[in-house]
């Protein structure tokens, strides 16, 4: 078993706690499901949010999924001119028997346009 990293992103329709929690939970669940990741496989999760998302921390939504014992960190995404608005990005660190080329990175909502090189 080795340590790998997995990326994901999702966009929010509005800057509310309910929206940020719901979108974070959707993304985390989908990343875990598509990659056969269990709670015990997780080492840590890093979240970034764009400057226009201020209602809550994405980690709050992840904790509501029972991930409170996994180290979670929220940071501010770089404010790049022309960047994707209302976007939450995620970086999982996890233990797995899968190889790097078997990973399925997950980009949902408008964030799909960030990685047009990935299969759906």
- Catalytic residue list contains 100: no
> How far from each other are the two terminal CA atoms of the chain, in whole angstroms?
26
Integer Cα distance of 3 and 97 in angstroms:
9
Instruction: Write down the catalytic residue from 12, 77, 86, 87.
Output: 77
Could you give the CA distance from residue 63 to residue 52 in angstroms, rounded to a whole number? 22
- The angle subtended at Cα 56 by Cα 52 and Cα 61, nearest 5°, is 120
Instruction: Say whether 115 is catalytic.
Output: yes
Residue from 12, 86, 87, 89 carrying the catalytic annotation: 89
Is 12 considered catalytic here?
Answer: no
Catalytic residue among 14, 51, 102, 115: 115
Catalytic residue among 19, 30, 34, 63: 63
User: Two tokens at 66?
Assistant: 């029972």
Catalytic residue among 7, 34, 104, 112: 7
**Exactly one of 30, 74, 104, 112 is catalytic; which is it?**
74
| Helices and strands in the chain, H and E counts | 2, 5
- Report yes or no: 88 and 49 within 8 Å, Cβ to Cβ: yes
* Residue 87 annotated among the catalytic residues of the structure: no
- 74 catalytic per annotation: yes
Told to judge if 77 belongs to the known catalytic residues of this protein, a careful annotator would answer yes
Return the active site residues.
7, 63, 74, 77, 89, 107, 115
């Amino acid at each position: 078993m080795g340590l790998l990293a997995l990326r994901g992103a999702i966009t929010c329709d509005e800057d509310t706690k309910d929206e940020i929690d719901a979108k974070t939970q959707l993304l985390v669940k989908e990343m875990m499901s598509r990659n056969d990741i269990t709670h015990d496989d997780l080492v840590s999760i890093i979240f970034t949010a764009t400057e226009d998302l201020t209602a809550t921390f994405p980690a709050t939504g992840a904790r509501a999924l029972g991930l409170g014992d996994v180290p979670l960190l929220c940071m501010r995404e770089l404010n790049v001119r022309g960047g994707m608005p209302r976007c939450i990005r995620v970086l999982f660190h996890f233990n797995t028997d899968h190889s790097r080329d078997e990973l399925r990175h997950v980009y949902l909502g408008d964030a799909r346009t960030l990685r047009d090189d990935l299969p759906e």
